[in-house]
Structure 1
Amino acid sequence: MTPPQPQSPQAPEAAPKAAPKDGTRPRRDREGGPREGRAPEAGPAPSEVKDLKELREERKERSEDGGKRVVIEEPDNRVIVREGGRSIIRADEGERFRRLGGQQRREKRDGLDVTISARPGGVEIFTENDDRGRPLRRYRRDREGREVILFDNRDYYRRHRGGSFTDAIVDLPPPRVGIPRRSYVLDYEDASDEDVYDALSAPPVERLERTYSLEEVRRSPNLRARMRRIDLDVINFDFGAWGVAPNQYPALERIADAMNRVIDRNPNEMFLVEGHTDAVGSDEDNLSLSDRRAETVAIILTDEFGVPPENIATQGYGEHYLKINTQAAERQNRRVAVRRITPLISRGN
């Protein structure tokens, strides 16, 4: 989605079209919300990699399983995997938690790597990873010891020990969508506040046979397609970049408010922020760019508007799902989308 050179023939980025009346928004003071201090910068990722050229220089590539799998390691614990004619990117979402600040500690429990993030009011967020860095479970515990499970992948990884990442792709037919297209894929700029809330609280468009691991949701397009989507076309990404200029932040206020409303009603809600690119450039560059774009938007949603970071998952899809079917540089393909995935997610027993 982004070419190798940052110079772009595209027109300059448009100003955001949605903004609060006074042009500013105070940070929300809510449990699990933003940290104190300055807002996230528009450009750098958690590793402080500044641009695509620097990112390429820091990549390390290796082969596994007799050359059947190629693993490309990037700064900030991102890994691109090529296997069986497919490529995916995996990110350590703990990097997003660390960038947002707050107190964190890591422990070893029963062979698991457990990260505990402390929040105001005695709230703690626990993320359990296995020895391969794969997220097994995330849950929130309040001061009274009450727990809310956000996702539980343990059963999935028990069934797919050491398997290929392609095992996570669920073979489902496209859903039969019985609602208007404009409600199924929401144009954020033209939608009302209630339209946004409805899209983020609606049930699946088609009945599900079971629930799924977060890994399966991330990898399976026809599974994700069971849930409505909001395209955040008001956020514009420059060619070859993943930063969001601060003057675009106010455009995210309405979707953040809707997400917070949904979470206030049900604290175990999960949302997926999806990053995309246009078709220019290599597959590796585009996967990394799209993943970083999704992460940037997730950080802004938390740091500026108080959406709890544990209720957000992010995933980059590179150029795999073009909105405008063109191989040329196209701003509309450099985008981020959000959808609710709560009904899809397994929470164990």
Structure 2
Amino acid sequence: MDDFRSERHEVQEGGRTVITEPGRVIVRDPGGQSFIRHDEDQRFRFGARDIQTQRVGSETRTIVIRPDGSQIITVVGADGQLLRRIRRDQQGREIIIIDNSYRDPRAVGGFYVDLPPPVISIPYDRYIVDADDASPDLIYDTMEAPPVDRLERRYTLDEIRYSPGVRLLMPSIDLNSINFETGSWEIPPDQAAKLQVIADGLNRAIQRNPREVFLIEGHTDAVGNDVDNLSLSDRRAESAAELLTQQYGVPAENLTSQGYGSQYLKEQTDGPSRINRRVTVRRITPLLNGGTASLPPPPPGIAPPR
């Protein structure tokens, strides 16, 4: 982390502290809560044949063209926020994987949603599944599991990323077989093989429903400061997502990643803990579409790249 610390820049914007470092922006609000953002487009560029950018009105569309001719289209608004993520196949057919341009009329305020803890009626070991102890069938079943409580509405990706009460509506899988070294986000080759069963489950779920979206969450132990831990955890989540795509063929566009630093310790200790240096997989598709299979009508057609 030393290189990133030396390149950090801190400014005050509207009462918030904004810290930039290579590849990341960390925001600390006046209440002391912090979150981190990064550009996921970089992950989609792996193996791309061509990458094109279009401006359409106030929107920017980045089109990643793959060797087979299929395209991943990322649409962002004037403020840089993701609006839509789309897969276009070789025949020009489009699947909207994420649609952030739709906002539920019941949504209030920004991207944080204050929800009470969900009512969990399933066994705890089915709600938080330890990958080390789980069978491939249980891992797949968890990747297909419905919300544990009733959904009030559909949520945007940012609402899911930054609202623990929303995320807790979905079961999760702790990859406790992948434990990072202190200060590292690299996954050693001997541990990378342990992701095979996770990748198999993800690919099976995505093959069944090409619109599935899974959140890869990164975590640290409580050693170190909050800024370092947010950066470290976010890079751990991204490393796992990259490995799942590059080594096991999980479609990059069906994954999203987010770091949470030391906010959600599995082992309650202030000291070093390999258990806490981990990643978690959570299906978020029902949260994005309100628990229904249907989505709003697609936006007007997107012009093919020129």
TM-score when normalising by structure 1: 0.80
Q: Distance in 2 between matches of 1:155 and 1:194?
A: 34
Q: Distance in 2 between matches of 1:102 and 1:241?
A: 31
Gaps (5+ residues) in structure 1?
1-51
* Partners of 2:47 and 2:66 within 8 A in 1: no
Kindly report which structure 2 residues correspond to 1:289-304, keeping only aligned pairs within 5 A, or say none: 289-304=232-247
Partner in structure 2 of residue 222 of structure 1: 165
CA shift digits 1:260-285 (9 cap, x unpaired) = 00000110000000000111111110
> 109, 115, 124: which is aligned to 2:56?
109
Pair 1:305–1:211, CA change in 2 (3 A): same
Kindly report which structure 2 residues correspond to 1:295-314, keeping only aligned pairs within 5 A, or say none: 295-314=238-257
> How much does 1:53 deviate?
0.3
Partner in structure 2 of residue 83 of structure 1: 29
> 95, 114, 118: which is aligned to 2:65?
118
> How much does 1:327 deviate?
1.0
What SS class does the counterpart of residue 243 from structure 2 fall into? Answer: helix
Gaps (5+ residues) in structure 2?
290-294, 298-306
Identity of aligned residues (%): 51
Q: Does 1:243 align with 2:186?
A: yes
Q: Does 1:61 align with 2:10?
A: yes
Kindly report which structure 2 residues correspond to 1:1-349, keeping only aligned pairs within 5 A, or say none: 52-65=1-14, 68-76=15-23, 78-85=24-31, 86-99=33-46, 101-156=48-103, 167-346=110-289, 347-349=295-297
Q: Give the RMSD, CA atoms, in angstroms.
A: 1.9
CA shift digits 1:65-103 (9 cap, x unpaired) = 2xx011111112x10011132110011101222355542
Pair 1:191–1:216, CA change in 2 (3 A): same
What SS class does the counterpart of residue 215 from structure 1 fall into? Answer: helix
Pair 1:81–1:156, CA change in 2 (3 A): farther
Letter in 1 for 2:91: E
Q: Distance in 2 between matches of 1:216 and 1:255?
A: 25
CA shift digits 1:148-199 (9 cap, x unpaired) = 11111123499999x7xxx211121111111111111101011001000000
Letter in 2 for 1:82: R
CA shift digits 1:278-320 (9 cap, x unpaired) = 1111111000000000000000000000000000010000011
What SS class does the counterpart of residue 231 from structure 2 fall into? Answer: helix
What SS class does the counterpart of residue 321 from structure 1 fall into? Answer: coil
TM-score when normalising by structure 2: 0.91
Q: Distance in 2 between matches of 1:206 and 1:298?
A: 27
CA shift digits 1:50-75 (9 cap, x unpaired) = xx00011111111112xx01111111
Q: Distance in 2 between matches of 1:119 and 1:345?
A: 26
What SS class does the counterpart of residue 64 from structure 2 fall into? Answer: strand
* Partners of 2:49 and 2:67 within 8 A in 1: no
CA shift digits 1:22-75 (9 cap, x unpaired) = xxxxxxxxxxxxxxxxxxxxxxxxxxxxxx00011111111112xx01111111
Higher relative CO (CA 8 A, sep ≥ 6), structure 1 or 2? Answer: 1
Number of positions where the alignment pairs a residue of Structure 1 with one of Structure 2: 291
Q: Distance in 1 between matches of 2:100 and 2:260?
A: 21
